[in-house]
Amino acid sequence: MTDDHKLIRDCLKGRPAAQQELYEKFAGSMLGVCYRYTKSMSDAEDVLQEGFIKVFRYLSQYKSEGELGAWVRRIMVNTAINYLKKNRHYQADLSFKDPGLHPVSADNPEMRIEAKELADLIRQLPPGYQTIFNLYAVEGYSHVEIGKMLGISDVTSRSQYSRARALLIVWLEKESGDLKKNSYAR
């Protein structure tokens, strides 16, 4: 029996030390997941707390068919999406209407960027774009799955992802140009 199985069994028996261990095992990485979908650390912490309540509530339904971390991550992603849907602060921005943006380019910018810089740029996307970009590019959900989660068509998901990607490319190209200008000025 693996450590996760014992940990789950002890959690289900209501042992506080096991529950604390499960929380500590995943809280750090799951806070990062929650933060990718929200606009503030405070909101991410709220999602994390709500997500762990669900983890403990539904732990008996975990079937040990995959990694425990993946199961916890899925709960956190779904909790974050539900948080965005019900939170008035995000509802106005969580729009999947066509804003009439320019056509999407398939070009890829050739530049080096640090992961933190990219994450910061993704966080600057409008919440609808940010959510779909994270679900597709980071979490690996299909557009059909995203459509079902968000109550939109898979075509809308594809289009929003393409627009988010195009916007990121524009920002990356601008940032790359700014870096080149600054290096020439030295």
* pLDDT tens digits, 133-148: 999 998 999 999 999 9
**Cα-to-chain-centroid distance, residue 107:** 25
Q: Grade residue 87 by pLDDT with cuts at 50, 70 and 90.
A: confident
Over residues 170-181, the mean pLDDT reads 72
CB-based contact 47:34 (threshold 8 Å): yes
CATH number of 115-185: 1.10.10.10
Most confident by average pLDDT, 46-60, 89-103, 113-127, 144-158: 46-60
What 8-state DSSP symbol labels residue 152? S
Domain 3-91 -> CATH class:
mainly alpha
- Residue spans of the domains in the chain: they are 3-91, 115-185
Q: Classify 116 as helix, strand or coil.
A: helix
Tokens of 87: 């939170």
Q: Which of 185, 136, 177, 186 is CA-nearest to residue 159?
A: 136
Q: How far is CA 83 from the centre of its chain?
A: 12
Using the predicted structure, report yes or no on whether residue 99 has a pLDDT greater than 60.
no
Q: What pLDDT does residue 111 have?
A: 43
DSSP helix/strand/coil, 8? helix
Q: Which of 29-43, 83-97, 112-126, 138-152 has the lowest mean pLDDT?
A: 83-97
Among 55-64, 74-83, 88-97, 103-112, the range scoring the smallest mean pLDDT is 103-112
Whether the pLDDT of residue 77 is over 50: the answer is yes
Dihedral sign for Cα 170, 173, 179, 182, please.
negative
Indicate if the alpha-carbon torsion angle 148, 72, 76, 132 is positive or negative. Answer: negative
pLDDT tens per residue across span 3-42:
899 999 999 999 999 999 999 999 999 999 999 998 889 9
Q: What percent of the chain has pLDDT over 70?
A: 80
pLDDT of residue 89: 62
